[in-house]
Amino acid sequence: MEAGGTATEAGAGPSTSGQGQAPKPTVILVIGMAGSGKTTLIQRINSHLHATGRNGYIINMDPAVTHLPYGANIDIRDTVKYKNVMKQYNLGPNGGILTSCNLFATRFDQVIQLCEKPRDPPLQYIVVDTPGQIEIFTWSASGAIVTELFASSFPTLVAYVVDTPRVAAPQTFMSNMLQACSILYKLKLPMLLLFNKVDVARHEFALDWMSDFDAYTAALEADSSYAATLSRSLALVLDSFYANMRSKVAECATEYEQFYLPELERARKDKAAREEARQRKEMERLRTDMEAASLRAAGAGAGAGQAAGGSAGAGGSVGGRGPGGAGKAAAAAGTGSGAGTAGGPMEVDGSDEDDEEDGDEEEDDV
């Protein structure tokens, strides 16, 4: 495997857990097309880490894998049984994987706690194996939760695995690069392109295409189809994408510290401010509700007192000075106690509306 350089050669960058503690491990999210060799690559990374006396932590997020060539420290299959999920929710294979990942994501805070546990020697890398169906990880709630939780706790990067023999044709290469680009946009994390299976096909042609536009257009020369013309235009556009690709894990970790972490902090502050505003609104609503309830209770008490004194029309007069429509409804109902029942449903309607608004806010947060 090559990364326009090598993938696992460098340290995890300067980030630390604070208070003079050991540096934080770097999280490597291994993503790539089905069969591109993610799992095999992780097995090799794992043995390389062991051979060089470094401490790594491997997490398997693929619920459908039948055999793992490495010993995972955390395995989604220990928590969620993919086949049971398929049966229980009447799902097909992809729906089963997606739902299993989502179920696992609901407990991902525990995974982060395990990763944060101090160890001797300290962890240097946390490597995450993902399902072959890229979109299941990158475009699902579980992918968003997992990446966000990792990125807010550790320097995190995406290692995009390219199946080198399968991208030897210029247009397949372009489609794979667009896929990588879309993941970069979605996950917003530093990215490492890993050219895999170089024992079958060397990766130098890809490096040439990425660094030299003329070399790429020359490869497309014989092809005058619309797709080839589009590929030429896209190669120009992707120039800055290629230029920003890193070739070492440490470079990605530094990029994370310099650009992604400040952005993350800003997003976290925004979220905290939104949450504070929501809580303030809730408190205000609660206060208004309580005031209204105490006014109603006072009104109902007065109505009951007058009714006990034998005045049949007293309910009407209570309604007149009660809080708006509720009082009038009580008068129409003709009893003092009716004020309570008429007031109840109106209040429930109101809180339902508010609850829907709050629900939207929560969805945006996720």
Ligand X SMILES: Nc1nc2c(ncn2[C@@H]2O[C@H](COP(=O)(O)OP(=O)(O)OP(=O)(O)O)[C@@H](O)[C@H]2O)c(=O)[nH]1
| Closest CA relative to residue 10, chosen from 155, 120, 111, 114 | 155
Question: Minimal distance in Å, beta carbon 166 to ligand X?
Answer: 10
Strand partners, 347: none
Q: Which does 197 bind (CB under 5 to 8 A by kind): Mg ion, ligand X, none?
A: ligand X
Minimum CB distance to ligand X smaller for 34 or for 237? 34
Say whether residue 39 binds Mg ion (CB under 5 A): yes
The CB-of-347 to ligand X minimum distance in angstroms stands at 53
Which CB, 30 or 253, lies closer to ligand X? 30
| Residues 132-151 within binding reach of ligand X (CB under 6 A) | 132
**By CB under 6 A, how many residues form the interface with ligand X?**
14
Comparison of 75 and 255: residue with beta carbon closer to ligand X: 75
CB 299 within 8 A of CB 321: yes
- The full DSSP string for 56-97 is EEEEE--TT-S--SS--SEEHHHH--HHHHHHHTT--HHHHH
Q: Does 138 bind Mg ion (CB under 5 A)?
A: no
CB of 86 to ligand X, least distance (A): 17
Q: Is residue 236 exposed (0-12), middle (13-18) or buried (19+ Cβ within 10 Å)?
A: exposed
How many other β-carbons are positioned within 10 Å of the β-carbon of residue 14? Answer: 12
Select the span of 29-37, 75-83, 98-106, 314-322 touching ligand X (CB under 6 A): 29-37
Among 9, 14, 21, 34, binds ligand X (CB under 6 A): 34
Instruction: CB nearer to Mg ion: give 8 or 39.
Output: 39
Which residues have a Cβ under 8 Å from the Cβ of 245 and sit 6 or more positions away?
A: 4, 191, 192, 193, 210
**Residue with Cβ nearer ligand X (62 or 255):** 62
Which of Mg ion, ligand X, none has residue 36 at its interface (CB below 5 to 8 Å by kind)?
ligand X
Q: Are 1 and 200 in contact (CB under 8 A)?
A: no
What is the layout of strands, in order, in the sheet containing 125-129? 74-75, 56-60, 125-129, 26-32, 156-163, 191-196
Identified binder of ligand X from the candidate list 57, 60, 62, 128, rule CB under 6 A: 62
**How is residue 126 written in tokens?**
């946390």
Minimum CB distance to ligand X, residue 123 (Å): 23
How open is the CA angle 24-27-32, to the nearest 5 degrees? 170
User: Minimum Å distance from CB 37 to ligand X?
Assistant: 3
The answer to whether the peptide bond before residue 121 is cis (omega within 30 degrees of 0) is: yes
Q: Tell me how far, at minimum, the Cβ of 209 lies from ligand X, in Å.
A: 20
Residue nearest to Mg ion (CB): 39
| Touching ligand X, residues 250-269 (CB under 6 A) | none
CA atoms 171, 174, 179, 180: torsion sign: positive
List residues near ligand X by CB under 6 A: 32, 34-40, 62, 132, 196-197, 199-200
List residues near Mg ion by CB under 5 A: 38-39
